[in-house]
């Protein structure tokens, strides 16, 4: 039998960082997914953990995919901020593989901790050892996790694990958990050198939330 024209797409197997993020999210909670893509994570969380999820996405095609999956999505550019959401409106906010393309990194991280109790980010690890080898050879790295040439990359704020942890400390965040990956495999030994991708779960010191918004 041929599929129905309006049949909801099947949720594909989650990639490594999203699978770990899904483990960190508690059942029956409220989740905001920033740059939610096709809605795969929220659809999975809704089905497996009964979460109430909202996604934010700019792409017309991906917004349509979210709608087809039954995911509540708001179409907006994240650079415009999260003013539409109230303080602590969500239990968890997720920003997956998007942080490195944001112009105002500190602002989006502060806004994440404003709108939710816990925040989760994942991003490419610029400290992955072949990147340094590529730079020694005189070229910007081009890898599976960062597949763009220097002149057309959307990645404007790349960082290492230590860079992110230092910024988190500066902003008054407490890191609760970290997971690092190379492709789909989790990496624990020498993660700063051997991982291509990192995911962090963190919260904000209440005092940091009192700072005026930019």
pLDDT digits (tens, 9 = 90+) for 34-87: 999 999 999 999 999 999 999 999 999 999 999 999 999 999 999 888 999 999
State which residues form the domain around 202: 16-125+159-207
Q: What is the pLDDT of residue 155?
A: 53
Q: What is the pLDDT of residue 7?
A: 39
Distances in Å between the alpha carbon of 171 and those of 70, 93, 100, 164? 35, 17, 17, 11
Can you read off the two tokens belonging to residue 168?
């988190």
Task: Evaluate whether residue 33 is within a structural domain.
Answer: yes
Distance CA 66, CA 8 (A): 10
Task: Evaluate whether residue 146 is within a structural domain.
Answer: no
Least confident stretch, 24-28, 153-157, 182-186: 153-157
Task: Evaluate whether residue 139 is within a structural domain.
Answer: no
pLDDT in tens, 124-153: 998 876 555 566 666 665 565 555 554 555
Helix (H, G, I), strand (E, B) or coil at 168: helix
CB-CB contact of 77 with 130 (8 Å):
no
Task: Evaluate whether residue 100 is within a structural domain.
Answer: yes
Q: What is the pLDDT of residue 9?
A: 40
With 50 as the cut, is the pLDDT of residue 26 above it?
Answer: yes
Please, what is the average pLDDT of the chain? 84
Q: What is the pLDDT of residue 204?
A: 94
Task: Evaluate whether residue 130 is within a structural domain.
Answer: no
Task: Evaluate whether residue 1 is within a structural domain.
Answer: no
Q: Structurally, how many domains does the chain consist of?
A: 1
Q: What is the pLDDT of residue 154?
A: 52
pLDDT tier at 10, thresholds 50, 70, 90 = very low
Task: Evaluate whether residue 136 is within a structural domain.
Answer: no
Q: What is the pLDDT of residue 181?
A: 95
Give percent of the chain above pLDDT 70. Answer: 78
DSSP secondary structure letter of residue 15: P
With 80 as the cut, is the pLDDT of residue 107 above it?
Answer: yes
Residue 168 sits in a domain of what CATH number? 3.40.50.150
| CB within 8 Å of 138: residues ≥ 6 apart | none
With 50 as the cut, is the pLDDT of residue 4 above it?
Answer: no
Task: Evaluate whether residue 131 is within a structural domain.
Answer: no
pTM of the predicted structure, to 2 decimals: 0.84
């Amino acid at each position: 039998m041929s599929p129905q024209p309006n049949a909801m797409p099947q949720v594909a197997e989650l990639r490594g960082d999203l699978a770990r993020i899904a483990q960190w999210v508690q059942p029956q909670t409220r989740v905001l997914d920033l740059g939610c893509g096709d809605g795969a994570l929220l659809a999975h969380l809704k089905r497996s953990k009964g979460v109430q999820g909202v996604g934010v996405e700019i792409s017309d095609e991906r917004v349509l995919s979210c709608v087809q999956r039954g995911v509540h999505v708001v179409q907006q550019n994240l650079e415009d901020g999260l003013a539409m959401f109230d303080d602590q409106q969500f239990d968890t906010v997720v920003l997956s593989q998007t942080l490195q393309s944001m112009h105002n990194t500190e602002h989006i991280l502060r806004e994440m901790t404003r709108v939710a109790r816990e925040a989760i980010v994942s991003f490419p690890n610029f400290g992955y050892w072949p990147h340094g080898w590529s730079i020694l050879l005189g070229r910007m790295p081009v890898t599976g996790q960062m597949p763009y040439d220097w002149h057309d990359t959307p990645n404007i704020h790349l960082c290492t694990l230590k860079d992110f942890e230092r910024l988190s400390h500066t902003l008054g965040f407490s890191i609760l958990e970290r997971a690092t990956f190379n492709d789909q495999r989790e990496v624990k030994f020498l993660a700063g050198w051997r991982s291509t991708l990192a995911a962090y779960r963190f919260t904000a010191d209440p005092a940091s939330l009192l700072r005026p918004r930019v």
